């Protein structure tokens, strides 16, 4: 016989799907347009038919900086697959990003770089809203819809989820 607590909870859960802890938050159809740090026009919509990982980060976030080599390495592992990594720096002042970017240009081979944008750039547009805890990561499916989001350290399951979306 169920306990009184179970009797109260069971009717509330009948017919409702369980939401996983990674349930998508953010825009259903994300918009991200601007200019990359290398001066190229960027539009997330142009990446339809690819799975895209969009990571909002800051140079003042130690976890963010620490994870960049891992992000690049994992993205390299998807070479030849319809996958793109895009990072968006949220720094209010571009000067720290410029220092970081100079180091990237010296230490990261061109083939291992990804689209990188600055959220404060003129013409930058996105509908992700407040990112909250950084890094803030969204997985975008091949149809251009938000599939999942993560706030804080990107869990290993995110890479498994990319495989599912491919």
Domains identified in the chain and CATH numbers: 22-165 (3.40.30.10)
* pTM more than 0.85: no
- Give the span between the Cα atoms of 81 and 62, in whole angstroms: 30
* Residues 28-60: b if buried by 16+ CB within 10 A, e if exposed: eebebebebbeeeebebeebeebbbbbbbbbbe
pLDDT in tens, 2-34: 444 333 333 333 333 333 333 445 567 899 999
pLDDT in tens, 124-166: 999 999 888 999 999 999 999 999 999 998 999 999 999 999 9
- Give the span between the Cα atoms of 91 and 58, in whole angstroms: 5
Q: Which two tokens stand for residue 70?
A: 């891992």
Q: Provide φ and ψ at 147, rounded to 5°.
A: -100, -40
């Amino acid at each position: 016989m169920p306990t009184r607590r179970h009797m109260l909870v069971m009717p509330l859960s009948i017919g409702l799907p369980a939401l996983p802890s990674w349930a998508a938050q953010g825009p259903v159809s994300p918009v991200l347009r601007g200019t990359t740090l290398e001066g190229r026009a960027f539009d997330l919509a142009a990446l339809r038919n690819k799975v895209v990982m969009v990571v909002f980060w800051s140079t003042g976030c130690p976890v963010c900086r620490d994870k960049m080599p891992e992000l690049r390495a994992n993205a390299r592992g998807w070479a030849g697959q319809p996958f793109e990594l895009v990072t968006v720096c949220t720094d209010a002042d571009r000067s720290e990003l410029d220092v970081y970017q100079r180091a990237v240009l010296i230490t990261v081979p061109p083939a291992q770089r990804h689209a990188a944008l600055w959220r404060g750039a003129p013409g930058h547009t996105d509908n992700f809203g407040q990112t909250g805890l950084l890094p803030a990561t969204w997985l975008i499916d091949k149809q251009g819809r938000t599939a999942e989001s993560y706030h804080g350290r990107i869990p290993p399951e995110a890479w498994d989820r990319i495989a599912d979306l491919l």
